């Protein structure tokens, strides 16, 4: 990109060396800022709401964040070498048409997160401007998201840096107010250790991180091609884990406060944080912190959502790039859908969000297992990038090995499900403990690796389109 003020023009195409920029530090600030937000607090609160002691909830959430974050960061490390959006690279495993299967689920993921985030951020905007109509805040927040998402990659990272500073200040202030107003020590160790609720806390932390996997490389793909994979991995991992754990810890502690206060948070998350801040000017400042944090992650959802929609459409058209007008149209369409969902959202937010998170965990862990095993263990970081856009190329239209392994990975989790609609027999035998995501990862890996190792057509070396590498690039 020739100038920082220029609207991004890249979409699903490879980022040439001449346009690469930035450092892995940007991954830390982006993911830290994106996770210092109110929905992560809600996720942490859920572990306590559904029965865990606050102390064991915090420990379980940390384990889940680190485990899921490591998987997510391995996806991020692919970005600099490939220079591609995450789901385009998924065609190497599933085939050019076959990748549409997980893509549809990813779009639903982004719509769900965008809608739930828009509801909470809309409440914060309404509190700032003293308006009661929910539609006002929701629509304003949708417009803000659209502006940043259309401007693109540079501005999303810039917002991440702002969100990091704002989040640290705001959440530190909230932590101080929490400690001074409540006996936090008395909230810990109240409920005996329970395996089922502890595993639920781990699952909630892991789900939070794993659902970033399908788009995390979208935000590392502009880094210089020879950027250290290890540094990219750790910058992403610890930015995401530290931001998430800080937010979730606050949420778990607030949910553990005796009914008068904890119940207030569960009924009105945004309003409770304003009261905790002390009301008046301090409350407005916290509402702004909420808006900035949610805006950061909502831009990731909108940006990733349009990338997935483009990936789906271009698999049929064989296009390898899309015009700027096309980018804008897809972003606007995605945001209109998310705003409409937010306007129609159920009042039963907490329980629906828990079900949504755990259901997503079930469908995305097999995808992560397949993508990472293929990239790091089978293809060993060698990808024929031009073939990703050609249904008649190396990767073909449908990869039966990946699709069957994916289906097995999803289906094998059913006996381990812990959902309102259905609780699996193994889960009941374990007292309600949810370990479906671990089963999904392990079984998918066991099925896919030996099968794909015999059948995958691995290129001899990494292959890029003409004009992509620095020596060949058409420097504008």
Of 37, 83, 123, 69, the residue nearest 299 (C-alpha) = 37
What pLDDT, on the 0 to 100 scale, is given for residue 1?
39
Higher per-residue pLDDT: 388 or 317: 388
pLDDT at 244 exceeding the cut of 90: yes
Confidence label for 101 from pLDDT (cuts 50, 70 and 90): confident
Structure tokens at 192: 């005996």
What pLDDT, on the 0 to 100 scale, is given for residue 348?
60
Tokens 């990733």 map to which residue?
304
Residue 38, classed as helix, strand or coil, is: helix
What pLDDT, on the 0 to 100 scale, is given for residue 97?
92
| Eight-state DSSP code of residue 320 | S
d(CA 243, CA 33): 7
Higher per-residue pLDDT: 55 or 304: 55
Confidence label for 132 from pLDDT (cuts 50, 70 and 90): confident
CB 20 within 8 A of CB 225: yes
What pLDDT, on the 0 to 100 scale, is given for residue 281?
93
What pLDDT, on the 0 to 100 scale, is given for residue 327?
78
What pLDDT, on the 0 to 100 scale, is given for residue 346?
55
- Using a 10 angstrom Cβ sphere, with 0-12 exposed, 13-18 middle and 19 or more buried, the burial of residue 264 is middle
Q: pLDDT tens across 346-380, in order? A: 556 555 665 665 666 678 889 999 999 999 999 99
Could you give the dihedral angle defined by the CA atoms of residues 239, 244, 247 and 253, in that order, rounded to the nearest 10 degrees?
-130
Confidence label for 414 from pLDDT (cuts 50, 70 and 90): confident
Confidence label for 472 from pLDDT (cuts 50, 70 and 90): very low
Task: Determine the length of the chain.
Answer: 476
pLDDT at 3 exceeding the cut of 50: no
pLDDT at 474 exceeding the cut of 60: no
What pLDDT, on the 0 to 100 scale, is given for residue 116?
82
Computed over every residue of the chain, the mean pLDDT equals: 86
Q: What are the distances in angstroms from CA 182 to CA 210, 254, 314?
A: 33, 9, 55
Average pLDDT over residues 96-102: 89
What pLDDT, on the 0 to 100 scale, is given for residue 2?
41
Average pLDDT over residues 120-142: 91
How many of the other CB atoms lie within 10 Å of CB of 280? 9
What pLDDT, on the 0 to 100 scale, is given for residue 46?
87
d(CA 98, CA 109): 18
Confidence label for 420 from pLDDT (cuts 50, 70 and 90): low
pLDDT at 418 exceeding the cut of 80: no
Sequence-distant contacts of 418-427: CB under 8 A, at least 24 apart? 418/200, 418/358, 419/355, 419/358, 419/359, 420/351, 420/355
Residue 323, classed as helix, strand or coil, is: coil
Q: C-alpha 352: how far from its chain's center?
A: 18
What pLDDT, on the 0 to 100 scale, is given for residue 357?
59
Buried b (16+ CB within 10 A) or exposed e, 216-234: bbbbbbbbebebebebbbb
What pLDDT, on the 0 to 100 scale, is given for residue 259?
55
Average pLDDT over residues 239-260: 90
d(CA 410, CA 402): 12
pLDDT at 79 exceeding the cut of 70: yes
Higher per-residue pLDDT: 396 or 310: 396
């Amino acid at each position: 990109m020739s100038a920082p003020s220029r609207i991004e023009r890249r979409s699903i195409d490879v980022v040439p060396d001449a346009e690469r920029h930035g450092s892995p530090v940007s991954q830390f600030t982006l993911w830290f800022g994106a996770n210092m937000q109110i929905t992560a607090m809600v996720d942490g609160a859920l572990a306590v709401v559904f029965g865990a002691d606050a102390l064991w909830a915090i420990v379980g959430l940390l384990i889940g964040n680190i485990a899921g974050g490591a998987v997510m960061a391995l996806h991020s490390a692919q970005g600099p070498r490939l220079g591609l959006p995450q789901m385009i690279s998924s065609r190497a495993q599933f085939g050019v048409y076959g990748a549409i299967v997980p893509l549809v689920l990813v779009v639903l993921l982004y719509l769900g997160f965008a809608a739930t985030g828009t509801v909470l951020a809309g409440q914060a905007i309404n509190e700032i401007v003293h308006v009661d109509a929910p539609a006002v805040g929701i629509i304003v927040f949708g417009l803000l998201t659209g502006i940043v998402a259309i401007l693109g990659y540079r501005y999303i990272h810039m917002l991440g840096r702002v969100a990091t500073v704002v989040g640290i200040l705001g959440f530190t202030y909230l932590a101080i107010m929490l400690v001074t107003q409540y006996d936090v020590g008395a909230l810990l160790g109240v409920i005996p250790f329970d395996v089922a609720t502890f595993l639920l806390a781990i699952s909630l932390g892991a789900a939070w991180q794993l659902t970033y996997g399908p788009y995390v490389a979208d935000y590392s793909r502009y880094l210089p091609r020879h950027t250290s994979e290890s540094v990219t991995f750790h910058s992403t991992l610890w930015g995401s884990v530290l931001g998430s754990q800080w937010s979730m810890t606050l949420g778990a502690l607030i949910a553990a406060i005796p009914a008068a206060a904890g119940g207030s948070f569960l009924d009105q998350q945004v309003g409770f944080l304003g009261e905790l801040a002390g009301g008046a000017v301090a409350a407005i400042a916290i509402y702004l912190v909420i808006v900035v944090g949610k805006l950061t992650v909502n831009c990731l959802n909108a940006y990733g959502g349009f990338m997935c929609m483009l990936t789906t459409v271009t698999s049929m058209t064989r296009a390898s790039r899309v015009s700027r007008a096309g980018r804008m149209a897809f972003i606007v369409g995605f945001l209109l859908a998310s705003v409409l969902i937010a306007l129609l959202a159920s009042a039963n937010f907490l329980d629906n969000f828990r079900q949504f998170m755990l259901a997503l965990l079930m469908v995305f862990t097999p995808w992560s297992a397949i993508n990472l095993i293929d990239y790091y263990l089978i293809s060993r970081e060698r990808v024929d990038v031009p073939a990703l856009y050609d249904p008649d190329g190396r990767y073909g239209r449908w990869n039966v090995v990946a699709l069957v392994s994916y289906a097995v990975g999803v289906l094998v989790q059913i006996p381990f499900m812990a959902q309102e609609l259905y609780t699996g027999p193994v889960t009941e035998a374990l007292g309600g403990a949810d370990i479906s995501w671990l089963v999904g990862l392990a079984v998918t890996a066991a099925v896919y690796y030996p099968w794909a190792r015999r059948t995958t057509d691995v290129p001899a070396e990494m292959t890029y389109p003409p004009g992509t590498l620095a020596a060949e690039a058409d420097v504008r």
